[in-house]
Amino acid sequence: MSSFCVIGSGISGATIANLLNKRHTVDLYDKARGLGGRSSFKRLDNLRGFDHGTQYFSPKTTEFKRFTKKLIEKKILKIWGGNHKFLSDKKKENKKHTKVIGRKGNNDISKYLLKNVRCYFQSELKKINFQNRKWNLVFNDGEIRNYENLILTCPFPQLKKLSKKYIKNSFIREKIKMDANITILIEIKKTNLGYSSFLFNDRILGWAGYENSKKRFKSKSDLWTLQSTFNWANKKINQNKVLKKTNAKILIDKFFKLTGIKQTKILFSLNHGWKYSSNSKPLKLKSYWNSRLNLGVCADWFNGPRLESGWISANDLYKKINS
């Protein structure tokens, strides 16, 4: 039995921690307040909440389909039904796909996988150092913690910053570009529009998901999650912190215009900028394992832009660690 430190509680970190925890001592750390990473759920209270990262997933591989089916049977996940409106020609094929969501929020998979794993939140890994066959890890509280093995699941630019010294040159030199996304959560008065989501054909607004249609709560008002296009967010993301209100207004105005909903008072809104949302160009490698340093990396960006990509990467890493 050896000790593993896993960084990140998104699908990749939760999956690898769950697998390793069966045979090893595992501690998981995340810099965020809660779990789920880019599949986190923003709960306002018992009646209001938003999936502000992953909207839904549509399993593609046989293995992930099997995993999803098991979680639907266990009532952790469910199908998101209703009327999904596709206004974009490009993604018409997505129309047929089953849309799977968490029963309570899209971080439900991470919650399920991590229920027996020791997790520490608001714990950011700042520096790593390998000495005498041990990882000395410096966290934001100033403490140094030691582990035999280290698994990183951060978005690529963050990984590069943290572990440049230890990761093979050819791998770290890959030009992995992660697109940004600007997401706006809004609450408006009830409209009874009859749609669960919109996929737009627009330069600025990409998507709107109607949270009430996920049937997780009975809110008296309507809750929508609006997501920008990648192209627009890539241009705006660096200034988003100072232009939060302006960018939110642009996306909200677009939403009313494109859906035909009458402009109404915004009861609540929140602008969340994702600097590293997803990578649309998969690598040849599915995960990275260095058995000399006991250093592993798994993340969605190895395999593509989806939650399933992270799950595949974590399973691949687990096989490498055990081979």
Identify which of 128, 136, 118 has the alpha carbon closest to the alpha carbon of residue 35.
Answer: 118
Q: Give the shortest CB-141-to-ligand FAD separation in angstroms.
A: 12
Contact 268, 297 (CB under 8 A): no
Which one of 149, 163, 213, 278 is in contact with ligand FAD (CB under 6 A)?
A: 278
| Tokens standing for residue 315 | 């399973």
The three-state secondary structure class of 129 is strand
Going across the sheet that includes 134-139, the strands are: 125-131, 134-139, 144-147
- Does 4 engage in binding with ligand FAD (CB under 6 A)? no
Minimum Å distance from CB 13 to ligand FAD?
5
38 scored as a contact of ligand FAD (CB under 6 A): yes
Q: Among 23, 63, 87, 124, which residue sits at the site for ligand FAD (rule: CB under 6 A)?
A: 124
Among 6, 16, 53, 198, binds ligand FAD (CB under 6 A): 53
Q: Which residue number, 63 or 190, has a Cβ lying nearer to ligand FAD?
A: 63
By beta-carbon proximity to ligand FAD, the closer residue of 278 and 294 is: 278
Examine residue 10 and tell whether it contacts ligand FAD (CB under 6 A): yes
Under the binding rule (CB under 6 A), the answer on residue 55 touching ligand FAD is: yes
Shortest distance in whole angstroms from residue 189 CB to ligand FAD: 25
* 139 contacts 125 by C-beta, under 8 angstroms: yes
Q: Give yes or no for residue 274 binding ligand FAD (CB under 6 A).
A: yes
307 binds ligand FAD per the rule CB under 6 A: yes
Tell me which residue of 29, 56, 53, 238 sits closest to 154, measured CA to CA. Answer: 29
User: Does residue 63 bind ligand FAD (CB under 6 A)?
Assistant: no
Q: Does 37 bind ligand FAD (CB under 6 A)?
A: yes
Would you count residue 300 as binding ligand FAD (CB under 6 A)?
yes
The count of residues interacting with ligand FAD (CB under 6 A) is 39
Q: Kindly report the length of the chain.
A: 323
Element (H, E) at 188: strand 179-188
CA 152 from centre of chain: 15
| Among 51-59, 61-69, 194-202, 242-250, the segment contacting ligand FAD (CB under 6 A) | 51-59
For ligand FAD, give the closer residue by CB, 182 or 188: 182
Binding segment (CB under 6 A) for ligand FAD, from list 65-73, 84-92, 152-160, 165-173:
152-160
**315 binds ligand FAD, rule: CB under 6 A:** no
Instruction: At 6, list the tokens.
Output: 């896993």
Dist. CA 90–CA 167, nearest whole Å = 37
User: Both tokens of residue 1?
Assistant: 């039995």
- Going by their DSSP bridges, the two strands 25-29 and 41-45 should be labelled as unpaired
CB 86 to ligand FAD: min, Å: 14
Residues 6+ away with beta carbon under 8 Å from 190:
220, 221, 222
- Tokens at residue 228, please? 């920008």
What ranges in 192-287 are assigned the alpha helix state H?
230-236, 244-259
Tokens representing 143 are: 């403490």
Task: Select the residue interacting with ligand FAD from 49, 155, 273, 296 (CB under 6 A).
Answer: 155
What gap in Å lies between CA 105 and CA 138, rounded to an integer?
Answer: 32
> Within positions 198 to 227, which residues make up the interface with ligand FAD, using CB under 6 A?
227
- Token output for 184: 């706006």
Binding flags for ligand FAD, 157-176, as an x/- string (CB under 6 A): -x---x--------------
Binding site for ligand FAD (CB under 6 A): 7-13, 29-32, 37-39, 53-57, 124-125, 153-155, 158, 162, 181, 183, 227, 274, 277-278, 299-300, 305-307, 309-310
